[in-house]
Amino acid sequence: MRIKARSELWNDAIDFLMFVDGGQRSVVTELKLEPIKDGTYCSPSFSLTPQEAQELMNELWACGIRPHNGQGGPAQIEAMRDHLRDLQRVVFKNYPDTRSD
């Protein structure tokens, strides 16, 4: 299963295309809600492998969706540290660097 996401400026929503690519290409054409009685067991609406879930996260990230807690992964944090070091070098270029990394 692959999922592609797209966010358009004029639409306050994110559009998704879910499909299987391999041999015969198939697309999900309909998601619908069905009423159930309280206590009824329900199977998951759909499942993704970890790789598919990562692809979905990447698609959402490309649409501008970020976690609410604002925490990035280790690579993003290290990139921010490098950027701050560069800014400090520019701003404080005439001052001796007495900080330790």
pLDDT of residue 67: 79
pLDDT of residue 36: 92
SS3 21: coil
pLDDT of residue 84: 87
Query: Is the full-model pTM beyond 0.75?
Result: no
Closest CA to 85 of 99, 95, 72: 99
| Domain residue spans of the chain | 2-69
pLDDT per residue of the chain (101 residues) written in tens, 0 to 9: 888 888 887 878 889 888 888 888 899 898 889 999 999 999 888 888 889 999 999 999 888 888 777 566 777 788 888 888 888 888 877 666 666 65
pLDDT of residue 38: 94
